[in-house]
Structure 1
Amino acid sequence: MQRIGLTGGIGSGKSTVASMLVQRGAALIDTDAIARSLTLPGGQAMGPIAAQFGQDLVQADGALDRDRMRQIVFQDASAKRRLEAILHPLIGMACDHQAAQAQDRDIVVFDVPLLVESGRWRARVDRVLVVDATEATQMSRVMARNGWSAEAVQAVIAQQASREARRAAADAVIFNEGLDLAQLQAEVDGLLQQWMAADRR
């Protein structure tokens, strides 16, 4: 089994690349989806989050108020660390469980937006694939997709690792700038063929 860590800044096209890898037979473990499930009503993280941050961050249905929490962690680095101390061990256990269920797959892709920032993922994967785009492109994509303001997108980008840091941590980079979907798929396929050939040597 080849374990690929997939990462990229917001609006880079990482999720599109993840879908293309799945189409080629990879199992996908999405850490963002795991984090969301942990903070839904009855999610494993909700009790510890309420104890740490207060019931006012729990919505009426029992889910995390994600918008309020996002504002808090953007403004307070210590709050971000406390939230991560709750979520990261639970996400890690869920990833291990899902990877164990995918033992029959040749490739398992771990989609980890904060792979570089966490510092722990490099040792858990065989290769790191970074999807990269210019900041201007990231901003235009997210503003069009999510309806966010430029300031909101810039705030997220500022919280993430720099493009340079991600590229430095990468075994391969797909520069997703000016590519249509067919061209992006060709980049993904070429990289997979190269890695599979290298593993057969």
Structure 2
Amino acid sequence: MAVRIGLTGGIGSGKSTVLAMLQERGAVPVDADAISRATTASGGLAIPAIRVQFGPEFVTADGALDRERMRERAYAQPEARRQLEAIIHPLVGQEIERQVGNALAAGAACIVFDIPLLVESGRWRAQLDRVLVVDCEPETQVRRVVARSALAPEQVRAIIAAQAPRALRLAAADLVVCNEGLSLAALRSEVEQAARSFGL
């Protein structure tokens, strides 16, 4: 039976790099965020229900969710976010199940669920064998995200503030990869150590 690992970490923590390293060792990734985005992309499975629930003005000309308009609606009416989640979450759940089924059928030893809101959602823990948290100092997060994107430091701090508190993530962890001041080689060594404990 495949080991099920939940991978999480704040923005700029290096979670994607850690996931890529685990993949190199044979882990099969299931990216909940990418699956969620696909449901609201052009022609995504959630689009027909979004059009019915919110109106055609919430769907762009190329058939995707108008994210900006939806953000404004959700800000003005918190209930809109819950309505949107009620459309998207079941579709995401079905696709995750499909990908897990494929991984198991292919004989995967380890499935890594990349879940940005693992700690916040609460429902994930029971479905996982271990939780791996990639961690670093908040100022390191800010520096990395500013360097790779067009965001200003205060925007990045606002995103960090909206995510689960660092202490809460660490409390949920079975294993922590501390990605602070490490070279890529040193990070790889940390990840390999974690991977061995997952049977990879």
**Secondary structure at the counterpart of residue 112 of structure 2:** strand
**Secondary structure at the counterpart of residue 44 of structure 1:** coil
Aligned to 2:134: 131
Task: Give the letter for the 1:34 counterpart.
Answer: I
Task: Give the letter for the 1:192 counterpart.
Answer: A
Aligned to 1:166: 169
Aligned to 2:152: 149
TM-score, length of structure 2 as denominator length? 0.91
**Secondary structure at the counterpart of residue 8 of structure 2:** strand
For the pair 1:105 / 2:108, whether they are aligned, the reply is yes
TM-score, length of structure 1 as denominator length? 0.90
Q: Could you tell me how far apart the structure 1 residues matched to 2:157 and 2:55 are?
A: 28
CA contact under 8 A between 2:3 and 2:198: conserved in structure 1? no
Deviation at 1:71, TM superposition (A): 5.2
CA contact under 8 A between 2:6 and 2:118: conserved in structure 1? yes
Task: Give the letter for the 2:32 counterpart.
Answer: T
Aligned partner of 2:120 among 111, 117, 120: 117
RMSD over equivalenced CA pairs, Å: 1.8
Deviates more, 1:115-124 or 1:140-149: 140-149
Aligned to 1:51: 52
Structure 2 residue runs of 5 or longer lacking an equivalent are: none
TM superposition outliers: structure 1 runs of 4+ over 4 Å: 70-76
Aligned partner of 1:181 among 164, 171, 184: 184
Q: Could you tell me how far apart the structure 1 residues matched to 2:72 and 2:158 are?
A: 10
Task: Give the letter for the 2:10 counterpart.
Answer: G
CA contact under 8 A between 2:32 and 2:113: conserved in structure 1? yes
Aligned to 1:62: 63
Aligned to 1:25: 26
CA contact under 8 A between 1:4 and 1:128: conserved in structure 2? yes
Deviation at 1:169, TM superposition (A): 0.6
How many residue pairs get aligned? The number is 197
Aligned to 1:193: 196
Aligned to 1:40: 41
**Secondary structure at the counterpart of residue 196 of structure 1:** coil
CA contact under 8 A between 1:10 and 1:138: conserved in structure 2? yes
Deviation at 1:75, TM superposition (A): 6.3
Deviation at 1:53, TM superposition (A): 3.0
**Secondary structure at the counterpart of residue 93 of structure 1:** helix
Task: Give the letter for the 1:180 counterpart.
Answer: S
Deviation at 1:147, TM superposition (A): 0.9
CA contact under 8 A between 2:110 and 2:199: conserved in structure 1? no
CA contact under 8 A between 1:74 and 1:159: conserved in structure 2? no
CA contact under 8 A between 1:7 and 1:129: conserved in structure 2? yes
Q: Kindly report which structure 2 residues correspond to 1:71-82, keeping only aligned pairs within 5 A, or say none.
A: 72-73=73-74, 77-82=78-83
Task: Give the letter for the 2:52 counterpart.
Answer: A
